[in-house]
Structure 1
Amino acid sequence: MTITLIAAAAENNALGKDNKLLWHLPDDFKHFKAKTSHHTIIMGRKTFETFPKPLPNRKHIVITRQLDYVVPEGCVVVHALSEAFDLVKDEQEVFVIGGGEIYKQALPFAHKIELTRVHHTFDADAFFPEFNQDLWVLEKEEYHEKDEKHFYAFTILTYTKK
């Protein structure tokens, strides 16, 4: 099984503030959808609660400490990252989609990182973890200029563990 962290983070690793994204980048959303569709996505409760409803064509695993947490049909609740990984051990690739604490816990187990680097810094309360670039190979880099639909320039980076 390949464990892939997929995130959009600013130059200062900012992910979000007050459970909200700090930018709107339609091409990054397309990238996220293309990568994660028809796969399992693993996330923390706060990340899950930012969605108006579960994302289509994906199995959702939500990690929470709340023992009585209720999710819509088709979503699964677990209470630890290890439980989530146990549920998906037979899958080819799964995606960890946040938030900051879940990324931090999952990083040592990750085989791949799909990181959209937003070329700006933001005030935030959730951050993507620092990772040792010496342990990773940058396989692909795709730069996107800022334009009428994208207020910030960004680069989609694909890393694989050495």
Structure 2
Amino acid sequence: MTTTYDLIDEAVIDAPAAAVWEALVAELHGAKKWWVPSNTFAVISGSADQVGGRIGVTVHTKGSDNGGLKLRFTSRTVAVEPGRKLEVEYVDGVFRGRSVFRLEPLADGRTRISMHFVGTPNGFLKILSKVADLGAEHSKGALSAFESLNRQLSPVGAGARR
């Protein structure tokens, strides 16, 4: 039986939604500013913030500069509400499924960012998922990335609040 992960990770970023959106799109275009060392992204075609855009995702199991297993898959953008929502589907590689990034502007000028990941391991990752808690690793990587994003965008560099 194959495991399907259904996870929501979120954080509050000490910056306005426009800045968070800009940083999210830049990261998906390969900026390598805040999701590293866990994940790196590269444009395959189009743009991450345009329907049909394809992005190559690499999950670095030991960090981007430390060797280890590299898990690769491709996302295709299926829906965009600029500044608020970016939805992708995983169409090739070690995952099949979807993710939705949502930005919620808060009354105090901060922004809640969330990632809802629904994914099923594909190929050799099906076997690995039987011995490793991929869900826990995914959440660990996403929350670490959000904390890094907050440090970069926060005027005081405070850690992301969950």
Fold conserved between structures, TM > 0.5: no
TM-score by length of 1: 0.30
The structure richer in strand per residue is 2
TM-score by length of 2: 0.30
Work out which structure has the larger RCO, using CA pairs closer than 8 Å and 6 or more positions apart in sequence.
1
